[in-house]
A and B are shown apart, each in its own frame.
Chain A
Amino acid sequence: MFGTLRRTILTAAVAALALPALLPLGAVAQERSITVASTTSTEQSGLFGHILPIFTRETGITVRVVALGTGQALDVGRRGDADVVFVHDRAAEQKFVAEGHGGPRHHVMYNDFILVGPASDPAKVAGLRDSTEALRRIAAARAPFVSRGDRSGTHAAELRLWKLAGIDPVEGRGQWYREVGQGMGPALNTAAAQNAYILADRGTWLSFRNRQDLKILVEGDTRLFNQYGVMLVNPQRHPQVKAADGQRFIDWILSPAGQQAIAAYKINGEQLFFPNAAQPEPGA
């Protein structure tokens, strides 16, 4: 019969196209899992890729990380769309807890911010210990400065430093002060392309590949301290929050096992995050 072969070929081709669509999308949705809203710095530095498999092995709980700026991550928690929030902006975190969206807040680990800029260093800040003095010189030189501008933890830290330096960078907006409204990586890409200064977290910087002429110019100032905190989203407000498994994750990351896992994560031999759950929180 004419067309039988043709029909077979057609059917096979249609099946080839349709098959991936038919695979159940929810295949992995059955397993035990929690959703953690966290920051780009922890995800993109590779920390989660290192520590989460250890947690999953120990508990059988898969952790799904949605990486956003701290402000957005807290918003996701406010809406109840995550079970745990793991971010780095103490003031914003305390507000989150005070408003009853979750908590209590636990401090987990720290690293530090660094001031990165072009090797040519037009504002002459290289080697300074005083980060506010460095910002003052950048502003005075009207040298390009890229700001995250996205309500992230790093953005909040940068704004605090400008305030300490007594400068309102917004006056330079559209000229030397450039708010990109994006994550750490895209902001670094922008700074690299424009030979601009930028405040970055060390973890993202260490794993960042497209540095071009950028290098660390200022580091070690105690005001560049970067504390990370973790908290459970309030299950009373959002009944779907997986409180038990979320708490399990928080307990684990604060435990010696979790803290050691954090300390063990290194890029090129350099430790990225320093666990401090066992010590009192600096500046608290």
Chain B
Amino acid sequence: MTFTIDRHELEKAIQRVLAVVSPKTTLPVLANFLLEAQEKSASITLTATDLDMTVTTKAASEVESGGSVTLPAKRFAEIVRELGTDTVSVSAEGEEISITSGKSRFKIVGIPTEEFPTLPKSDPASAFSVDASVLGSMVEKVSFCTSKDETRPSLNGAYWEFSADDMRMTATDGHRLATYRVGGKYKPLAGKSMIVPPKALSQVVRTISSEDEDEVKLSVKDNHVAFFIGSTTINSRLLEGPFPNYRQVIPTDNDKELSVDREELVAAVRRVAILADAMTHQVRLTLAKNKVQLSVSTPDVGEAKEELPGRFTSDKFEVGYNANYVLEVLKHIEGDDVLFVLGSPVGAAIVKAAEEAEDREYTCLLMPLRLSS
């Protein structure tokens, strides 16, 4: 196998797949890229996998002779990054790979290609197109709520469901929930639902920006999902469900509404949270007709209080939240004002933007901290 390639092209291709290579692997070959060169299409293919997710990307190159080889991912990436010239030549003989660029020469040893795991096959022809920017914002607004608790595996991913005229993504860790609905024509996928690991979703978002594509093609087969973005394919195993019935926990009878300036609230929460308990990050909200009082009181640390204007539809109400959860939710909500729809001090609060676009619906739920006094 021998080929010559533009160094920047090669570096870009490496960056698209490198994130999949995990630093600690049980299988040595997983620390390697699979590098294939095709004479016919005058291109090379780079593949990396962690067994749960596989990313394959293509780059144009002048291929003298085709073939395939695996090579240590991190070292190869470092070498290519440090090279000073514009073109790189790579040739392989058996497991020995030579990299030549200007006056620099490197030789590294790979692992036989046969040891690289067999990859799931997916066909872009049968895939369905989704707007890349819609998908990107959907992932960004939802995936921060996925759980890391391994004892609740179905919450470790984002739940993505389709109907004929909308798609919706939901994630929760039991303490907060985010759900985002986008209207559109999704007939071919109607009725389908899946739990996608957040690692795959963030890889998709990264690839969308690096490939600069407007469209993502999507195909779901058995327990795998494949995303085709430009010259890159991301294939991920889906998480096993069932995803809990989240619709059931979205309160319908919350009757108190608080409307408050989002940026002011973020700044105030950040300030008082400096003195919050390191474990619970508790901040207490005391709501009255025209004001919101934030307070924190931590033994051995100190106290903080701040008031800001807000419109509350009920009388005095007191509730405690984890400040980090509040900040994260507020970060993802758009618009000037944010709306809290509240019920009981131990029930979920619905948090959403005061005004929303017609075909979009973004709702977050925040579970409170049960206050002792």
The answer to whether A and B interact is no
